[in-house]
Amino acid sequence: MLAIVGSGEYLPQMNEVDRQLIELFDTPPRVVCLPTAAGREGDAMIDSWAQRGVDHFASLGVEAESVRVWDRSSANDSALAERIALADFVYLSGGNPGYLHRTLESTPAWDAILDIVGRGGLLAGCSAGAMIQGEAFTGLPRPHDGFGLWPGIHIIPHFDEIPSAIVSAMRVAVGRKRTLVGVNGDTALVNRDGVYHVLGDEVTVWTPTHKTRFGAGEVPSSALVG
């Protein structure tokens, strides 16, 4: 299971969306929050994101822990990876997507996350944590490779905040052969075994052949294919 979130992680307006993510499980999941994308913002900010995540999910009635993976050294720490591996649900909060990708790539921490997804757990990422899940993500001077969990898809969070002219420029930068998925704030797009649902507001899917907006509810899998 995968979820990409446009913005708003750990804020009260995300309570209903995150409750629905929790309800994807038959029993209350154990949540691990990773503040990795904020790793260049200093100790105070890393600790703040970590605590916000724990407090948010605890308020929703599930066991939550933050694992302080913030740089390559901590991402390569096998003891921290083992703590991540105990989770059913991993949440990557926002920050710098390039830094997040470089920090996690080819590390025990990322291997632990992939193992969780492989055994039926959930990876949810907001903003930067959403962007890195795609095949590529926006960067300068050109798009960066992502982890490819959403093959052929380029994920753009905060989509409702981006002027249309910039979105059009992104479409060109992404390339016409790749599908662009724009996720509004306080919204998640969930992929559960190839069945897609929008939770919250609206998701825009712009394939090589069509552009469609989807509100809350199920999204046909064919919609993500050009």
Residue 140 lies in a domain: yes
Residue 184 lies in a domain: yes
| Mean pLDDT (the chain, rounded) | 94
Q: How many domains does the chain have?
A: 1
pLDDT for the residue 140:
55
| Rounded distance between C-alpha atoms, residue 148 and residue 64, angstroms | 27
Is the per-residue pLDDT at 135 higher than 80?
yes
pLDDT for the residue 59:
97
Is the per-residue pLDDT at 142 higher than 80?
no
Confidence tier at 196 by pLDDT (50, 70, 90): very high
Strand locations in the chain (E): 2-5, 31-34, 64-66, 89-92, 122-126, 134-137, 144-145, 150-156, 179-183, 188-192, 195-206, 211-219
Residue 225 lies in a domain: no
Residue 45 identity (one-letter amino acid): M
Give the domain range for residue 186: 2-220
H-assigned helices in 76-163: 78-85, 97-104, 108-118, 128-131
Is the per-residue pLDDT at 141 higher than 70?
no
| Rounded distance between C-alpha atoms, residue 24 and residue 13, angstroms | 19
Torsion of CA 213, 189, 178, 36, to 10 degrees: 140
CATH number at residue 76: 3.40.50.880
Share of the chain above pLDDT 90, in %: 84
Residue 203 lies in a domain: yes
Place of tokens 């825009």: 204
pLDDT digits (tens, 9 = 90+) for 39-53: 999 999 999 999 999
Cβ–Cβ under 8 Å, residues 21 and 3: yes
**Closest to 10 measured CA to CA, from 83, 131, 92, 104:** 92
Instruction: Report the pLDDT averaged over residues 88-98.
Output: 96
| Rounded distance between C-alpha atoms, residue 152 and residue 154, angstroms | 7
pLDDT for the residue 73:
98
- The pTM for the full model equals 0.95
Residue 61 lies in a domain: yes
Specify burial of residue 105 (Cβ count, 10 A radius: 0-12, 13-18, 19+). Answer: middle
| Rounded distance between C-alpha atoms, residue 80 and residue 64, angstroms | 15
pLDDT digits (tens, 9 = 90+) for 160-185: 999 988 888 888 777 777 899 999 99
122: β partners: 89
